[in-house]
Amino acid sequence: MSRSARFRELLKTPPFVCMGAHDAVTAKLAEQAGAPAIYVSGFAASAIVAGAPDFGLLSQTEMFDHIRRICRATSLPVFADADTGYGGAMDCQRTVALWEEAGASVLHLEDQAVPKKCGHFAGKQLVPAEEMQAKLRAMLDARKDPDFFIVARTDAIAVTGVEDAIRRLEAYAAVGADGLYVDAPESTDQMREISQRLRPLGKPLLFNMARSGKSPILTLKQVHELGFDYALCPIEPMFAMHKAVKAMMERFMAEGCSTEAVAEMLTPFDEFNAFVGLPEMAERDRRYTVPAG
């Protein structure tokens, strides 16, 4: 079964979470931890690739390369952010082709105007719903794998309110979007209203668990009880990495640049090599090495 088909199978038995992975190592860690799917965030990609905030700075091909490296490191289905599709309808079609080539199984397209911003930042603007519908139609027509899953995302709550967010997703469902995603709902009451109004459309509903202060902090079970099928845990692994590495470097510098001072903060050398597959690679190397003489 392909990874895209496996993602659709997950949707038959909700709830589940797509664990954020910002590089190959965190993708392997997510799989080792038992995550059923991975999410590649544009917010995280901007930070990891460019050391910059999520203001739509990465190009289409930079994001493609980032997704491809992560997909190579895991066997899990990968859900990859596609921002606004990187342009008009033709650009959206190329985005689908590239994301499929990279190995992704799912993407979400958002209805923000350029320059787009992280969904939990202030100052967002929206394109007309009709423009978003055209982009979605273009993406749906362009996918080669019928199991590749295209999610329509709206950022309308912070701009025009929950009523417009619901109307927009109804319009996006009407042109064939596979799933629906209202970013940054502000309360459980809003979430309940969104799910009650959208569930009759028969499209899986997505919730973003990012701890930004915009949305309620909920368990996956609570998210499901409110009517959502699956969730993203998009940036928490990167934030955990930032905190841990920051603490290690500060202690290292403060303690006279001694690795002994930070030893208990480090994964042992042999354990890390086992994690990235050194024993298996060494065995393959022995298999193909020509004996001397």
For the chain, how big is the Rg over CA atoms in Å? Answer: 21
Residue 192 burial by CB count (10 A; 0-12/13-18/19+): exposed, middle or buried?
A: middle
Q: Tell me how far apart the alpha carbons of residues 195 and 230 are, in angstroms, rounded to a whole number.
A: 12
Look at residue 137 and give its three-state secondary structure. helix
Q: Cβ–Cβ contacts within 10 Å for residue 188, how many?
A: 15
Q: φ, ψ for residue 150 (rounded to 5)?
A: -115, 120
Which distant-in-sequence residues (6+ apart) come within 8 Å of 150 by Cβ?
96, 106, 107, 108, 109, 136, 139, 140, 143, 177, 178, 179
**Residues 280-293: b if buried by 16+ CB within 10 A, e if exposed:** eeeeeeeeeeeeee
3-state secondary structure of 213: coil
Beta strands in 155-261 (DSSP E): 179-182, 205-208, 230-233
Check if the beta carbon of residue 24 is closer than 8 Å to that of residue 69: yes
Catalytically active residues are: 39, 54, 81, 83, 108, 110, 118, 153, 186, 208
Crossing angle of helices 236-254 and 24-33, in 10° steps, is 110
Q: How far apart are CA 13 and CA 168, in angstroms?
A: 27
CA 8, 172, 133, 233: dihedral to nearest 10 degrees? Answer: -60
